[in-house]
Amino acid sequence: MPQSPMSVEELKRMAATIRCDIIEMVHIAGSGHPGGSLSATDIVTALYFRVMRVDPKNPDWPDRDRFILSKGHACPVWYAALAERGYYDKSHLGTLRQLNSILQGHADMLKTPGVDMTVGSLGQGFSAGLGMALSGKLRKKDYHVWVVIGDGEMQEGAVWEAAMAGAKWKLDNLTTILDLNGLQNDDFVDDIMPIHPVPDKWRAFNWHVIEIDGHNMDEVVSALETAKTIKDKPTIIVAHTVKGKGVSFMENVAAWHGQAPTVEQMDQALAEICQQVGR
């Protein structure tokens, strides 16, 4: 059954645990995407351990909240959160990207318990989340749909088509969280295709906008809980984050978008993360 919501301090410790899981599983796999997983960790942790209405023992519960990680390459953070939340045993984390594993390189709803939508092609997860929210409205369900998108993903035209539709249908049961870490696969977002001014653009599309520090757990929790109270329009939480957050040599470095740490790098990363929370 749904567990008691964690306190902010408990969420910080869980976020550190999930960051360690990410580092270890990407190292074992020898490939993966640690940078964007680490930047989204505080957001995903707050959702699964405080805000969302879910039941790991009944992942298909019709009245559950839905979550989609539309920036699907960052699935290590999703897999770690699901494991820590009890959807499957943590031993599966060591099988990331292996043949026949339930944890593929991009999340597959037919393989992974707790995954509500297969993701990979940028922009499509966001559109699917909008469809889930519209379905909930039409069927008079009270579940909430949460979608995490990336700032590089905002360059996709499909994002803006869905943004228009969300406002048209007044989907106040839909909250999007933008992981605004400033980097994408090859370089800084501003050097590839600038997306600013981000808050103004979403307001122009008639979304309610909340802007936060995506690594301040108090702000993260407050924004997520506030989003559930907004009526007659969807909400976007613009979360200013740091790619590779928590690991000094990964922070704000584009190369860590999709690169596995060596043994030495893993050991340093784990030590740094543990030190930050006094473990």
Q: What CATH number has the domain bearing residue 104?
A: 3.40.50.970
Is 89 inside a domain boundary? Answer: yes
Is 3 inside a domain boundary? Answer: no
Is 137 inside a domain boundary? Answer: yes
Question: What pTM was computed for the model?
Answer: 0.96
- Which pLDDT tens digits describe the chain residue by residue (279 residues)? 457 899 999 999 999 999 999 999 999 999 999 999 999 999 999 999 999 999 999 999 999 999 999 999 999 999 999 999 999 999 999 999 999 999 999 999 999 999 999 998 899 999 999 999 999 999 999 999 999 999 999 999 999 999 999 999 999 999 999 999 999 988 899 999 999 999 999 999 999 999 999 999 999 999 999 999 999 999 999 999 999 999 999 999 999 999 999 999 999 999 999 877 665
Order of strands, sheet of 208-213, starting from the edge strand that comes earlier in the sequence: 66-69, 145-150, 174-180, 235-240, 208-213
Q: What is the C-alpha to C-alpha distance for residues 42 and 19, in angstroms, rounded to an integer?
A: 9
Is 259 inside a domain boundary? Answer: yes
The total of structural domains in the chain comes to 1
In the three-class reduction of DSSP (H, G, I as helix; E, B as strand; rest coil), residue 181 is classed as: coil
Q: Locate 61 and state its tokens.
A: 């519960």
Is 1 inside a domain boundary? Answer: no
* Length in residues, the chain: 279
Is 204 inside a domain boundary? Answer: yes
Q: Locate 97 and state its tokens.
A: 């990207």
DSSP state of 94: G
Is 45 inside a domain boundary? Answer: yes
Is 227 inside a domain boundary? Answer: yes
Range of 99's domain?
A: 8-276
